[in-house]
Amino acid sequence: MPCISCARPGGPICEPCRTRLRSVPDRVLGDVVATATWAHSGPARSLVHRLKYDGVTAPADLAAAEGRVPDDVIALVPVPRVSARTVSYGVDPANAFARALGARLGLPVVRCLSAPAWSRRRAGRRRRPAPPRFRMAGDPIPRAVVVDDVITSGATVEAAAALVGAHRAVAITMAPGVKSRGGTGLPHTMRGRDVD
C-alpha cells in the first residue's frame, strides 16, 4: 500500500513521512483555545490536501488516532465546508475528522452549524479574512469542541466557536505562524493524549 503523503511503499503513511510530522503548541485565538494534531507543514500539509482536494479520508483517521480534546467535552461540532466545495471535492474534511475522532473517543458529532452554499476561497490568504457566515441550529453547546481540518488565521474557528458557545477547537493541522492572541495557551487536561 502506498503512503498517502508521498506515494512511496509503506502506507497508510511511511516511516520517513511519519517521522517528519511535527507537533504544534496550543494557541489562544480570542476566547478559543486551539489544539491541533500536527503543524501544517511537510507531510501533514500533504495529508490535509489529500483529504480536502482528493477525498481521501485516511488522513482524518490518522489524525484522529493522535487527536486530543479536553476531558469535559460532551460533543464535537464540525466546521462545515461550503456546499459547492463539498460537492466539487466529494468530502467535508472537518466532518470526516470529527467522525473519526468521535468514534475513537466515544463522543457524539453534532452538525448544528451550516455554511453558505458558496464563499471565496480562504485557504492560503496572507491577510486575516472576514469569517464565514455560519448559521447555528438549536441551543449553544458550551462544552462542545469545534472541529476543523486546518487552522490558518483562526478566523473560521473563532466564528464557529462563538455561535456554538464553545471555548475549545481542535484541528488536524494548525499553521505554525498562527499568532496567539491573549496568551500562549491555557493549561488543561486532555482526553486521548496517547496514541491508540
Counting other chains too, the contacts that 109-112 makes at CB distance below 8 Å and 24 or more residues apart are 109/75, 109/76, 109/77, 109/78, 110/75, 110/76, 110/77, 110/141, 110/144, 111/77, 111/78, 111/80, 112/77, 112/136, 112/137, 112/138, 112/141, 112/164
Q: Read off the pLDDT band of 180 (50, 70, 90).
A: low
pLDDT in tens, 28-87: 999 999 999 999 999 999 999 999 999 999 999 999 999 989 999 999 999 999 878 887
What does the domain layout of the chain look like in residue ranges? Answer: 23-182
What topology is assigned to 23-182 in CATH? Rossmann fold (3.40.50)
What's the whole-model pTM score?
0.84
